[in-house]
Amino acid sequence: MITLEHVYWLSGLMFGGVAIVNWRDRSNPRRFNNTAFWGIYAITFLVGSRLADLTNGFLVVAMVLVASIRGLGQGKKESATREEREASARRWGNKLFIPALAIPLITVLGTVLFKRILINGAPVVDLKQVTVISLAIATVVALVTGMIMLRSPLLAPIREARRLLDAVGWAAVLPQMLAALGALFAIAGVGNVISGLAQRWIPLDNPFVVVATYAVGMAVFTMIMGNAFAAFPVMTAGIGLPLIVQKFGGDPAIMAAIGMLSGFCGTLMTPMAANFNIVPTALLELPDENAVIKVQIPTALMLLGANILLMNSLVFRR
């Protein structure tokens, strides 16, 4: 059976390959920092589940120290020149979108079909993580499709992954770190504090007010934390489960799905989501570091309003 652990191994191999490519690149003045950072990160994926929590904690601290001491850098060598990339884009045109569009398509199909595929009476994938596993399989299929189309060298994916990760830097690990922080906040009881404050200052006897509070809270807390995965356990424990589900009998699946979408609206409006909003600005060399956020705010507010109305109309239908 394919489990989430296999996805971690695949990710670990990729980060390990990135570390090796960095180590071999003498054009990068901070290649040893990059090698250590991505190498340690690879270890957390490959054997993290077999290590003690304290050991994993030390690995995370080591990553922080590596990123803090002189920081990470970028190599000067490019896998392809700008002219070569532009020529390839003109040659393939819209066909370049085939691998990218294959990812959501195969993910949806896998999520539906893998639940029905059995081998000796057992499911072929872990049903608790079927969507994530389907996404990983879809990514591999898209990668192979792209390599066949473009006739790329076997090492091209690792080299391109290294180029992208070097450009993004430490911000690439920010979503995972913030998600872990959100779980710690939930364990520490921050959700109960938020629930108490909400019930003290907001009239929560009306289901619509509860839904609006939850959705707006997801967006605002995401803006503070920089990641919807960090906000989700806190807001769901504080408002979603006790009020929407238990008090008013809402559907937890619908609440969770639209709640996450509401959190993503907050992602569009915060510089804390550095990997989404600050890194693109740096890569595009825009003069205003908040340019991406300013453009996204109207869309984010409209989507947040739509999510509130959508959740209110669907979550209480049973």
For residue range 175-199, what is the model confidence (pLDDT) as tens digits? 777 777 777 777 777 767 776 777 6
Locate 203 and state its tokens. Answer: 């009239």
Looking at residue 57, what is its pLDDT? 87
Judge if 39 and 155 occupy the same domain.
yes
Final residue belonging to a domain, choices 106, 132, 166: 166
pTM equals 0.73
Q: Which of 296, 55, 20, 66 is nearest to 169 (CA)?
A: 66
Judge if 32 and 162 occupy the same domain.
yes
- Residue 85 counted as domain residue: yes
Average pLDDT estimate for 221-250:
86
- Give CA–CA dist 167/25, Å, rounded: 15
Q: Which of 203, 199, 311 is nearest to 250 (CA)?
A: 311
Looking at residue 212, what is its pLDDT? 93
Judge if 158 and 267 occupy the same domain.
no
Judge if 115 and 260 occupy the same domain.
no
Locate 51 and state its tokens. Answer: 């290590």
Task: Look up residue 119 and give its DSSP letter.
Answer: E
- Residue 176 counted as domain residue: no
Quick one: how far is CA 51 from the chain centroid? 24
What's the domain count of the chain?
2
Judge if 212 and 296 occupy the same domain.
yes
Judge if 149 and 232 occupy the same domain.
no
pLDDT greater than 90 at residue 172: no
- Residue 175 counted as domain residue: no
Judge if 130 and 209 occupy the same domain.
no
- Residue 177 counted as domain residue: no
pLDDT greater than 70 at residue 65: yes
- Residue 178 counted as domain residue: no
DSSP assignment of 4-69, as one string?
HHHHHHHHHHHHHHHHHHHHH-TT-TTHHHHHHHHHHHHHHHHHGGGS-HHHHHHHHHHHHHHHHS
- Give CA–CA dist 168/275, Å, rounded: 7
Judge if 63 and 137 occupy the same domain.
yes
Range from 42-56, 170-184, 226-240 that averages highest in pLDDT: 42-56
pLDDT classification of 174: cutoffs 50, 70, 90: confident
Average pLDDT, the chain: 85
Q: Which of 68, 73, 48 is nearest to 58 (CA)?
A: 48
- Residue 292 counted as domain residue: yes
Say how many residues make up the chain: 318
Judge if 148 and 210 occupy the same domain.
no
- Residue 282 counted as domain residue: yes
Final residue belonging to a domain, choices 166, 197, 212: 166
Judge if 13 and 83 occupy the same domain.
yes
pLDDT greater than 90 at residue 106: yes
Return the H-helix or E-strand segment holding 204. Answer: none
Regarding predicted confidence, which is higher, 61 or 76? 61
pLDDT classification of 77: cutoffs 50, 70, 90: low
Catalogue the long-range contacts made by 308-313 (C-beta closer than 8 Å, 24 or more residues apart): 308/211, 308/212, 308/215, 308/216, 308/262, 310/258, 311/211, 311/214, 311/215, 311/254, 311/255, 311/258, 311/259, 311/262, 312/207, 312/208, 312/211, 312/212
Match 């590596």 to its residue by tokens. Answer: 66
- Residue 184 counted as domain residue: no
Final residue belonging to a domain, choices 166, 197, 219: 166
Which domain covers residue 300, as residue numbers?
189-314
Judge if 157 and 230 occupy the same domain.
no
Judge if 215 and 76 occupy the same domain.
no
pLDDT greater than 90 at residue 216: yes
